[in-house]
């Protein structure tokens, strides 16, 4: 899932400075699962904003509305009848959701209340770890299912570098060395030949905006 974290409160406060009536739009998908931007988080943030602005003698009218998926037109339509009542929209969705919101209502400022952080997994309640940078050419097949792009601090394809130490990465003893893990796993599977050959320089497909159209599907409808 996509993991995001709430922006520092002061930053949010300065983003919405000057607006008197705003709608905070949550998202019920990834950001709700990672406890950042679902219904509950929307009401918590709204209460904080309300209180802070009262203390500043600058009251604000702030409503909340959480939709199923902000990165999906179908669900966004639920907002069409409401948005014009507000001066600005605050969004607690991931970057994709926020942009989709901004695109649908181009006449209204849309402001992010979260920092979209990574594609990751849930390790424990409230604890998430990055696992993929959507690099567009997945190498997990020959790296024992461990992603060197994400988990190696240098994103090496021919590691481990000289900094690996007793299984830790040079950046932090608490951070396991991805290449140490790759080696260990492949050794257990008797597949060390996977990393004996030289991996060629990566074709960084994620350097341009990427588009995917599944075979058999036409280009999606032109946006308004």
Partner 1 sequence: MKSGSNLEKILQAGHFAFTGELGPPRGTDAEEVRKKAGFLKGNVDAVNITDNQTAVVRMASWAASLIAIQEGLEPNYQMVCRDRNRLAMQADILGAYALGIRNMLCLSGDHMKFGDHPNAKGVFDIDSMQLIQTVKRMRDEGKFLSGAEIEHPPKIFIGAASNPFADPFEWRVHRLAKKIAAGVDFIQTQCIYNMEKFRNFIAMANDMGLTEKVYILAGVTPMKSVGMANYMKNKVPGMDVPDEIIKRLKGAEKGKVAEEGIKIACEQIEEFKTMKGVAGVHLMAIEWEHKVPEIAKQAGMLPRPKVD
Residues that bind partner 1 (CB under 8 A): 153-167, 170-171, 180, 183-184, 192, 196, 198-202, 204
Q: Tell me if 207 sits within 8 A of 201, measured CB to CB.
A: no
For residues 7 and 154, which CB has a smaller minimum distance to ligand SF4 in the complex?
Answer: 154
| Binding positions for ligand SF4, rule: CB under 6 A | 132-135, 138-140, 147, 149-150, 152-154, 156, 159-161, 163-164, 169-170, 177-179
Question: What count of other Cβ atoms lies within 10 Å of the Cβ of residue 162?
Answer: 7
Least Å from the CB of residue 206 to ligand SF4? 9
8 binds, among partner 1, ligand SF4, none (CB under 5 to 8 A by kind): none
132 binds, among ligand SF4, partner 1, none (CB under 5 to 8 A by kind): ligand SF4
For residues 74 and 193, which CB has a smaller minimum distance to partner 1 in the complex?
Answer: 193
Least Å from the CB of residue 155 to ligand SF4? 8
134 binds, among ligand SF4, partner 1, none (CB under 5 to 8 A by kind): ligand SF4
Least Å from the CB of residue 173 to partner 1? 9
Both tokens assigned to 21: 């009536």
Least Å from the CB of residue 139 to ligand SF4? 5
For residues 166 and 210, which CB has a smaller minimum distance to partner 1 in the complex?
Answer: 166
86 binds, among ligand SF4, partner 1, none (CB under 5 to 8 A by kind): none
SS (H, E, C) the chain: CEEEEECCHHHHHHHCCCCCEEEEEEECCHHHHCCCCCHHHHHHHHHHHHHHHHHCCCCCEEEEEEECCCCCHHHHHHHCCCHHHCCEEEECCCHHHHHHHHHHCCCCCEEECEEEEEEEEEEECCEEEEEECCCCCCCCCCCCCCCHHHHCCCCCCCCCCCCCECCEECCEEEEECHHHHHHHHHHHCCCHHHHCCCCCCCCCHHHCCCCCCCCCCCCCCCCC
Question: What count of other Cβ atoms lies within 10 Å of the Cβ of residue 102?
Answer: 16
14 binds, among partner 1, ligand SF4, none (CB under 5 to 8 A by kind): none
Least Å from the CB of residue 174 to ligand SF4? 12
């Amino acid at each position: 899932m996509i993991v995001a974290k709430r922006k520092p409160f002061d930053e949010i406060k300065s983003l919405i400075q000057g607006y008197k009536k705003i709608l905070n739009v949550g998202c019920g998908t990834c950001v709700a699962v990672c406890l950042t931007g679902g219904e509950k988080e929307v009401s918590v943030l709204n209460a904080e904003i309300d209180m802070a602005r009262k203390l500043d003698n600058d009251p604000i009218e702030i409503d909340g509305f959480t939709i199923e998926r902000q990165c999906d037109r179908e669900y966004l339509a639920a907002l069409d009848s409401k948005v014009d009542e507000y001066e600005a929209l605050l969004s607690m969705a991931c970057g994709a959701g926020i942009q989709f919101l901004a695109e649908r209502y181009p006449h209204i400022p849309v402001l992010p209340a979260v920092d979209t952080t990574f594609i990751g997994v849930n390790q424990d309640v409230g604890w998430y770890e990055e696992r993929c940078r959507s690099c567009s050419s997945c190498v997990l097949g020959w790296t024992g299912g461990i992603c060197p792009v994400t988990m190696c601090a240098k994103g090496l394809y021919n590691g481990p570098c000289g900094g690996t130490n007793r299984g830790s990465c040079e950046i932090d003893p608490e951070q396991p060395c991805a290449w140490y893990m790759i080696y260990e796993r492949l050794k257990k599977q008797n597949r060390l030949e996977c990393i004996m050959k030289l991996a060629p320089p990566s074709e960084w497909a994620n350097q341009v905006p990427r588009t995917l159209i599944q075979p058999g599907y036409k280009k999606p409808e032109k946006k308004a």
